[in-house]
């Protein structure tokens, strides 16, 4: 990832980084006080979290977090967001960065990578 970021001329901190574990993802969603509806299809199957700021949020801010091949709570997970409110997605990634280091967000609209740290 660092080579690709360098090729894109995107600056990033010299900090270790890794994919978050399943339990770190679940904990981040709880710690942020979000309303979460999880669909768990079993080991090595798609895992979905429909996340909302609050169930009664009048602005209906939400995000759909997907792990294509969920391998368990204690294993690193490659995740992506299918759709959703970008500030909410940044908040989730920032919380995850506390546990696993900086993460990269690539927006589908402009494809410009953004490094999200714990301070975002």
Sorting pLDDT into bands at 50, 70 and 90, what band is 97? very high
Instruction: Report how far residue 47's alpha carbon sits from residue 69's, in angstroms, rounded to the nearest whole number.
Output: 7
Is the distance from CB of 91 to CB of 111 less than 8 angstroms?
A: no
What is the average pLDDT value for the chain, to the nearest integer? 90
Helix (H, G, I), strand (E, B) or coil at 53: coil
Whether the predicted pLDDT of 120 surpasses 70: no
* pLDDT tens column, 19-51: 999 999 999 999 999 999 999 999 999 999 999
Helix, strand, coil percentages (3-state) for the chain, rounded to 5, are 25, 30, 40
State the pTM of this model: 0.88
Predicted local distance difference test score (pLDDT) of residue 42 = 93
Read off the pLDDT of each residue in 48-73 and give the average, rounded to a whole number.
91
Instruction: Report how far residue 83's alpha carbon sits from residue 100's, in angstroms, rounded to the nearest whole number.
Output: 23
Instruction: Report how far residue 33's alpha carbon sits from residue 59's, in angstroms, rounded to the nearest whole number.
Output: 17
């Amino acid at each position: 990832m660092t080579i690709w970021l360098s090729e894109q001329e995107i600056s990033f901190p010299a900090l270790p980084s890794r994919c978050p574990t399943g339990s770190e993802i679940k904990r981040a969603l709880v710690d942020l006080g979000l309303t979460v509806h999880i669909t768990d299809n079993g080991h090595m199957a798609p895992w979905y979290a429909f996340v909302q700021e609050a169930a009664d949020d009048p602005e209906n801010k939400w995000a759909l977090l997907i792990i294509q091949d969920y391998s368990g709570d204690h294993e690193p997970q490659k995740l992506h967001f299918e759709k959703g409110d970008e500030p909410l997605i940044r908040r989730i990634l920032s919380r995850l960065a506390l546990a696993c280091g900086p993460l990269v967000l690539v927006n589908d609209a402009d494809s410009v990578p953004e490094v999200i740290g714990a301070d975002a």
